[in-house]
Amino acid sequence: MKPSSSLQKRLGLGLTLGTTLLWLAATVGAWLVVQHELNEAFDSALEETAQRILPLAVLEISNRENPSEAQHVATLKMHKEYLTYLVRDAKGEILMQSHDANPKIFNQQPAEGFSTTKKYRLYGASALRETVFIEIAEPLEHRREAAREALLALLLPLLALIPISLFGTWMFVRISLRSVLAYRRAVEARGVGDLSPIHVARLPAEIAPLAEAVNHLLERLRKALETERSFTANSAHELRTPLAATLAQIQRLHHEAPEGPLRLRAAKIETSLRELTRLSEKLMQLAKAEGGGLLSETPEDLIPLLAHVVDEWNHNSGHRIELHLPTQTSVYSTIDPDAFAILLRNLIENALKYGAADQPVEVSLTDQALLRVVNGGPPVPEPVLQRLTERFVRGNSETSGSGLGLAIAKTIVQGVNAKIRLVSPATGRTDGFEVCVWFALASTVEG
């Protein structure tokens, strides 16, 4: 599935891109206006220059001894001329020209008004009843250079605007979405069993109905789960007394019955009642695992709890359990002691029940709060291994069981924000089955 993109990222980039495009569009529009105004200003300068020079040129020509002789106007100081001009008669003969003028760039016959060639903008004017003409030429490159400089002046601020706009938009969106981010963190921080309402102040109007709907859904789910857990716990609890009484009567009947079919039938009923009692106990453990109270208010040392549970099982299993404790004297975690005991009992019971009878069960705890329970036996196939933590699912074994032990263990692990992994063959072996549980390590203890 394609990962979803951040709303903050989309808004930041989208608004910045939109601002940049609008700025570019405004820049292009402004440049077109500036270019038009520059052309008008340059044309006006051409016209004004022609009208200023022409009377002076007519006066100069009329006062010469030989008016038809071409004259170069000397410059007072060498410089690059943007404007060059020719003064000609009606036949096109040159009477006067600026010092840097090139006759080839002008029209062959003088004419009044504006005209444009590939490289020059020309303006012509006449005097003395169109007997004297002046044409002034300006390079178009001069105008293009001015237009480029105007465009560059408009675009340069955009280089600074883009990062500033991106940063400003990003910060504004982040501040605006601060309550949404707080709501996301509140949802992410929830444990598996925490179904209490999520309250975050000042959510946007678009998100508030969604948050309210989520809280309503959590409330309905919490009530449904509480009803289910209550039914499971109450049913298991109510069954304990009649089951114990019935089991006692069946055991008495088994001892009093004579050898024969009746005694065999009583033995089978006793076995079934024992299985039903164990199932009732498992259901009570499952109800506790799915309920609250799996975390302790203060960190608990796991080493004495582990040693006590293992010692209890060794008395009942003929000391088949090998315990390996960490080098340090204490390993603290926030799991509730009762929840840890239920978890450990189910893992050990599973290892003893389904593991090889001639091999010990290894139970170890590391300094980093890693619990490992390893038993011997043939490897478990991968398809079966992936489903072993589901309810009422058992491995390929003829050993009787409820199929709830690993499901209870997984429920407790999820409720305390720990991690569980099933491995077969066991680590470093070619056979066996291994359960690894990583607890959240608590560094300090409140005294």
Containing 140, the helix (H) or strand (E) segment is: helix 140-176
pLDDT digits (tens, 9 = 90+) for 265-282: 888 888 887 777 777 677
Contacts by 114-123 with C-beta closer than 8 Å and gap 24+?
114/43, 114/46, 116/140, 121/42, 121/43, 121/46, 123/43, 123/46, 123/47, 123/50
Mean pLDDT score, 174-186:
83
pLDDT digits (tens, 9 = 90+) for 239-259: 667 777 787 888 887 777 788
Mean pLDDT score, 39-62:
87
- From the list 297, 353, 300, 344, the residue with the least C-alpha distance to 323 is 344
Spatial contact of 97 and 108, defined as CB atoms under 8 Å apart: no
294-447 CATH choice from 3.40.1180.10, 3.30.565.10, 3.90.600.10, 3.40.50.2300: 3.30.565.10
Mean pLDDT score, 333-340:
86
Nearest-angstrom CA–CA distance, 64 and 67: 5
- The two three-digit tokens of residue 81, written as one number: 């001329």
pLDDT digits (tens, 9 = 90+) for 152-173: 888 888 788 888 888 888 888 8
Q: What is the DSSP string of 368-379?
A: T-EEEEEE-SSP
Residue whose pair of structure tokens reads 């999520």 in the numeric block: 198
Amino acid symbol at 280: S
Backbone angles phi, psi at 64, to 5 degrees: -80, 155
Spatial contact of 371 and 336, defined as CB atoms under 8 Å apart: no
Q: Domain-by-domain residue ranges, the chain?
A: 7-160, 190-292, 294-447
Whether 21 has a pLDDT exceeding 50, the answer reads: yes
Query: What CATH architecture does domain 190-292 belong to?
Result: Orthogonal Bundle (1.10)
pTM of the model: 0.50
190-292 and 294-447: identical CATH topology: no
Give the max Cα distance, the chain. 164
Instruction: Determine the straight-line distance between the first and last CA of the chain, rounded to whole angstroms.
Output: 48
